Amino acid sequence: MKPINHNFTYKEALAASEKIRWRVEDIIGGDKRLDFTRPFMPESLARVNGLSFLTEHERRLLNQIRGHAYLVLFGVVEEFILPFLIDHARPQLQGDDYRVRAFLQFASEEAKHIHLFKRFRQEFVRDFGMRCEVIGPPEEIARAVLAHHPLAVALVILQIEWMTQSHYLDSVKDDQQLDPLFKSLLKHHWMEEAQHAKLDTLMVESLAAQMSEEEIARAVDEYLEIGAFLDAGLNQQMEFDLESLIHATGRNLSASELDEYKDVQRQANRWTYLGSGMTHPNFLSTLARLNAGARERIEQIAPAFC
């Protein structure tokens, strides 16, 4: 692997993480309730406004259904991130104290995020008034992802961590229309994910340091296989969200409206969960250091997910 051009350290990631203190109960519950008169997702991720055959009310409902899926899908990915981190930390518990503590802190934060997303989902289900179907169960998705090479999984996680950064900074932070509670969820998640992205970068580098060029190239292939698996899941979630919208509104969409809906929302899901991470400059720079040609390969594929 080529020399590292960042200054991430376990010690600094741990110190930054220890300064952030929030509890799930500080963010949701009691009188802190979702406001269903407002959108939950930024338009750049939801992409509902271009669906001109939907009324304003229906577009807001779809935005909220996409918000519900966001809660579930983050729960899904964090359910494979958590065991992966514990497995990564476990063999070196006697090593660098900062490394051990940084990874355990990272794992503990992901467990808290799983809890946070679940709590938001409970509130959503109670107040939205109907159940929205979702992919899963998360344990089965986790099993399929974790069956791949650790470097492939670590790359997927790295992409997700940088993706979370771009969601908040590029789309959420300055959006004044969003429900303040949903925005607070995304903000608090982002605060801790900033350290995760750095720790994941160190994790990818330490895994790759013990691998040959050929092994790394194979792991990049497996990273793409996991991406294709997740893409199929997202497509299924897009179908479920459509069913939820039809159920919630009682609307009948024509064949051409359905085609348009699916094209727009398939890409919206791809961009939200895959493209916005694949194109993140820090993810691409890790890929470039990892393996000759890996960055170019991903850059060629990325437009299909944007």
- Residues at the interface with Fe ion (CB under 5 A): 113, 193, 196
Beta bridge partners of 29: 32
Of 41 and 62, which has the nearer Cβ to Fe ion? Answer: 41
For the CB of residue 1, give the shortest distance to Fe ion in the complex, in Å: 23
d(CA 257, CA 263): 10
For the CB of residue 193, give the shortest distance to Fe ion in the complex, in Å: 5
For the CB of residue 37, give the shortest distance to Fe ion in the complex, in Å: 28
For the CB of residue 129, give the shortest distance to Fe ion in the complex, in Å: 28
Of 114 and 298, which has the nearer Cβ to Fe ion? Answer: 114
d(CA 272, CA 211): 31
For the CB of residue 133, give the shortest distance to Fe ion in the complex, in Å: 23
Of 2 and 19, which has the nearer Cβ to Fe ion? Answer: 19
Count other C-beta atoms under 10 Å from residue 177's C-beta: 10
For the CB of residue 78, give the shortest distance to Fe ion in the complex, in Å: 5
Of 113 and 295, which has the nearer Cβ to Fe ion? Answer: 113
* Residue-wise DSSP of the chain: -PPP-----HHHHHHHHHH----HHHHSBTTB---TTS-SS-HHHH--TT-TTS-HHHHHHHHHHHHHHHHHHHHHHHHHHHHHHHHHHGGGTTS-HHHHHHHHHHHHHHHHHHHHHHHHHHHHHHHH-S-------HHHHHHHHHTS-HHHHHHHHHHHHHHHHHIIIIIITT-SSS-HHHHHHHHHHHHHHHHHHHHHHHHHHHHHTTS-HHHHHHHHHHHHHHHHHHHHHHHHHHHHHHHHHHHHH-----HHHHHHHHHHHHHHHHIIIIIHHHT-HHHHHHHHHHSTTHHHHHHHHGGGG-
d(CA 72, CA 118): 8
For the CB of residue 284, give the shortest distance to Fe ion in the complex, in Å: 19
For the CB of residue 75, give the shortest distance to Fe ion in the complex, in Å: 10
Which has the closest alpha carbon to 233: 145, 163, 304? 145
Of 79 and 193, which has the nearer Cβ to Fe ion? Answer: 193
Of 88 and 196, which has the nearer Cβ to Fe ion? Answer: 196
Of 168 and 223, which has the nearer Cβ to Fe ion? Answer: 168
Dihedral angle sign, alpha carbons of residues 206, 207, 211, 215: negative
Of 113 and 289, which has the nearer Cβ to Fe ion? Answer: 113
Of 196 and 289, which has the nearer Cβ to Fe ion? Answer: 196
For the CB of residue 158, give the shortest distance to Fe ion in the complex, in Å: 10
